[in-house]
Every structure is written in C-alpha cells, then in structure tokens.
C-alpha cells in the first residue's frame, strides 16, 4: 500500500509542457498558467501575494479566535490569522499560523507575505490550524477544528516523509491560501481546500510545486481526505548566449479535480486530470483509510487501491 502511494507521488511530477526561451526576459510570456505567472511575479518582480486566507470577520478579535482554534499555542508566537465566508448561515473557515517561538514569529511577519511560511529549523511549514465556525450577531459558534496543525494531518507529508526517495517530492514548506470551490464529495458532505507547496532553488532557476489538500468535518474534527499535486513549474538555466544572457528551459504541469457521478461507499469518485495531455487518475473513497486513495482495476476484475491511470474513463 505505502509503495503504491509513493509511486503516485513520483508519477505526478512528470511535466507535460516544456519550452526553451532565449533569455530571462522571455520567461513570463512562455508561462502558460496563472499559477506560474504569479510565482514568477513574486520571485522576480517582488509582487506581494494576495491574502489567500482572507481576514477575520469584523468584530472577531484575534485573541478570541486563537483561544478557540489553538488553545495550546502561545499568542506571542502568532504569525497570521484569516478567515473566509463558507456557504450559508454565517459560516466561515479560518486559520491561525504559529511559529515555534516569538523571535521566529517576528521574523516570519516581516517576510511571510500573507502566507504561513516555512519553518527554517526543519524545512516544513509552520503550524497552521484550521477551524470551521459560525459568526452571527457578533458571536462565535464553534463547529469543528483541526485540533492539530495541518503538517501533522497532511497525508501528502506523511507519504513524502516515509516513502519517497525523490528529492523533488517533499513535505509542504508553506501554506498559501484557502480553496473554497464547492468540493461536494458526498450528497451531505462539502469538503474545502487548503493549498500549499514547496520549492527548489537551482543555479539560475528553480522549481515550484503546489499541492491541494481537501479537508472535511468528521465527528466535530477536521480530517484530511485528499492530497495531491495540482501544479508544477520548473525553470532550468541552459546555454549561455553570446550577448551574456542565458537560455531557460521552462516546463509546467497543471491538474484539475473533477467530481464524478459514480460513488464508492457513498462518496463521489474523484478524477484528477492533466490539462496538457488529458491523462487522468481516479480516486475512490477507502472506508479503512477514511480518505480517498488512487484506484485501478485489478487483472482479476477485483478492485484494488494503488497507483495507475484512471480506467475506464468517462
């Protein structure tokens, strides 16, 4: 089982689009997807990222918020808070990001740029807590919270740490935003997303990876039900030109997640589609794991969970 999961991660990193440009100035026009354009703008032009986690609703104090979402954390270690409206009846999804100590929190606030940044001591993201609540009549009504920071709940992190020998597959180094697209994974269950990623620095270039994690409420707790790569951008510096500029090899992969009509154990099957070559992979609900797992059809017509391309496709 674990070996299958690591193979899925490794297979996910194959770029489907690649091109070579003559110099650094030509890179932006070669990037096809907005995720890559945003990354380039932030890294090369110093653009400030949008507030991907939103802001706490008016009237909800930071102290009141963190006292509920992360009661065991020191308020002096807080890096950021945020929340976004979710659904109806005054519901919100909110976050709080904490460093290990006050000094690190102070440094992170200077350079975090609206995200929950990397913990320099271990290379992982700082502690991001997640909570679902109602805010009506200036009153916070708890619904569910993660109890632990997301880096301890993330299935991506667990697999990357234990199984992968590929240095390009690593635990998340930062969290960037809430993704509140309507991920209705069952008729009575609406999941929500958190996006994060990690990066590699090369001489004259670099690589960036974005991962989507879906979370759902289970018995007043928030659990991770799906994690996978949704975007990859790589810029590798190439040959030197006579004028002193340098060529760059740009590659990208982007994936979207579709909800299929078929169900497994009451949960809709998921389909992860590569936008470039249209290849796809099916994920089905696993009762034993209490989350989605990649699916293939066994040669003896038995269903097994493992790595593989979606089959059959709709």
- In this prediction, residues 25-46 reach a mean pLDDT of 80
Q: Is the confidence at residue 6, as pLDDT, over 80?
A: no
**For residue 264, what are the contacts with CB-CB under 8 A and spacing of at least 6?**
284, 285
Higher pLDDT among residues 245 and 68, named by residue: 68
pTM of the predicted structure, to 2 decimals: 0.85
Per-residue pLDDT at 222: 96
C-alpha distance across the termini of the chain, in Å: 26
Per-residue pLDDT at 297: 55
- In this prediction, residues 116-123 reach a mean pLDDT of 91
Per-residue pLDDT at 41: 81
* pLDDT tens per residue across span 222-275: 999 999 999 998 888 888 998 888 888 888 889 999 999 999 999 999 999 999
Q: Is the confidence at residue 3, as pLDDT, over 80?
A: no
What letter does residue 116 receive in the DSSP assignment? Answer: B
Q: Which span out of 6-10, 207-211, 242-246 was modeled with the highest average pLDDT?
A: 207-211
**Domain ranges (residues) in the chain:** 2-255
Q: Is the confidence at residue 16, as pLDDT, over 60?
A: no
Burial class (CB in 10 A: 0-12, 13-18, 19+), 279: middle
Token pair, residue 168, equals: 């390009």
Q: Rounded distance, CA 252 to CA 8, Å?
A: 18
Q: Is the confidence at residue 306, as pLDDT, over 60?
A: no
* pLDDT tens per residue across span 49-58: 888 999 999 9
* Residue from 95, 180, 183, 98 nearest 133 by CA: 95
Per-residue pLDDT at 44: 75
- In this prediction, residues 83-90 reach a mean pLDDT of 91
Kindly indicate the confidence band of residue 164, based on its pLDDT and cuts at 50, 70 and 90: low
127-136 and 280-286 strand pairing: unpaired
* Residue from 279, 62, 292 nearest 183 by CA: 292
């Amino acid at each position: 089982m674990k070996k299958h999961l690591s193979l899925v991660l490794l297979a996910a990193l194959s770029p489907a689009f690649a091109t070579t440009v003559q110099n650094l100035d030509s890179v932006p026009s070669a990037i096809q997807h907005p995720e890559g354009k945003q990354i380039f703008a932030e890294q090369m032009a110093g653009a400030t990222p949008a507030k991907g986690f939103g802001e706490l609703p008016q009237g909800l104090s930071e102290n009141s918020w963190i006292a509920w979402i992360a009661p065991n954390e020191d308020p002096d270690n807080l890096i950021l808070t945020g929340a976004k409206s979710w659904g109806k009846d005054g519901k919100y999804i909110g976050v709080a990001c904490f460093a290990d100590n006050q000094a690190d929190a102070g440094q992170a606030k200077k350079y975090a740029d609206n995200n929950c940044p990397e913990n320099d001591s271990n290379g992982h993201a700082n502690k991001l807590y997640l909570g679902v609540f109602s805010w009506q009549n200036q009153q916070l009504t708890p619904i569910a919270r993660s109890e632990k920071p997301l880096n301890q709940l993330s299935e991506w992190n667990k697999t990357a740490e234990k199984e992968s020998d590929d240095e390009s597959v690593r635990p998340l180094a930062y969290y960037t935003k809430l993704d509140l697209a309507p991920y209705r994974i069952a008729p009575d269950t609406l999941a929500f997303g958190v996006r994060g990623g990690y990066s590699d620095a090369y001489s004259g270039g670099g690589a960036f990876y974005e991962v989507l994690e879906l979370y759902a409420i289970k018995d007043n707790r928030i659990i991770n039900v799906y994690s996978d790569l949704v975007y990859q951008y790589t810029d590798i510096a190439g040959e030197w030109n006579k004028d002193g500029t340098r060529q760059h090899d740009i590659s990208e992969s982007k994936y979207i997640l579709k909800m299929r009509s078929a169900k497994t154990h009451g949960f809709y099957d998921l389909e992860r589609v590569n936008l470039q070559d249209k290849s796809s992979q099916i994920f089905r609900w696993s009762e034993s794991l209490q989350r989605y797992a990649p699916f293939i059809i066994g040669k003896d017509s038995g269903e097994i969970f493992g790595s593989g391309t979606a089959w059959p496709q709709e």
